[in-house]
A and B are shown apart, each in its own frame.
Chain A
């Protein structure tokens, strides 16, 4: 990670093949993401999400972060989208357009999305500025990722797992309350979208 050479002699305005591919894949990913949130067909939105997430995986590959790329495919395409589709199949999502698939919050959502995108881009730009990372040598091999994750980033890593555990416990609590028959149907429908909830009910 610290192999970054100075930017001297490396121009940002004379892109090579990898940079061009990176840009094109990025545009395709952005397009798929926009379609995901604008389409009125719910299941199509989920499938466009697959394209967007796969595009991000390809970007990781172009940055030679192979391990992260496959984890991206495994977790997001293989599990999260399957979960989404599972949830959608439990609803009455029609084939074709859903009349009520639009939200009155679209402007608020747009502002939040732009603000968070701006923040993230600013953080990345501010952190790296004109750093040049040479990608001819593989920078994101499994070993490098593992070492940095378990040497320098152990605390955030563990904190994240505690966060996930909290979400898991929350899902179980929500599904238990649904089991007592107090919660309205709407709350039940929400809990079906979380992984462990339906199974907890089955026992």
Chain B
């Protein structure tokens, strides 16, 4: 039998062509980044164990887990609300198995965990016109008053389920939005975002999750 090995590759391997697309003005209106090397775990409290789950999260991450649609930055991970009594843990990958072991122990008996590290793709949209590009395909109200830094939403964009949240503003002072999408839909969503951004000029790249 032929030797056979699986290679991991980005779901955006083909779609992401790094560089400038669309209008070639001096400054790109939109910056589009695929964030790689994440550990991503869905935490779902078990029936009657919501309080225990919150306590375990506080102990492990040093912050209160979000109980409303918000993204909260903890010690080693960002916790993003993903439904009643459930949230997603996002951490830069260091040593995946020990990271997941630590969570398994912390939430033992209180919550069910599901490793989604390679099941989702994280796409980050920023730049002065990032919000305008998103407005073309999302029905969310992204006004600062309605969707401030730290806000999160489970929503459907372009008929695709997305965990959407807003990070701290970029160095340029403009908002930064992150979208977690199922890997098999990442290619399609990526094209949607790029197409929506062409008129503003878009810089695309991939990066490693910051530790």
Are A and B associated in one complex? no
Question: Interface on B for A, CB 8 Å cutoff?
Answer: none
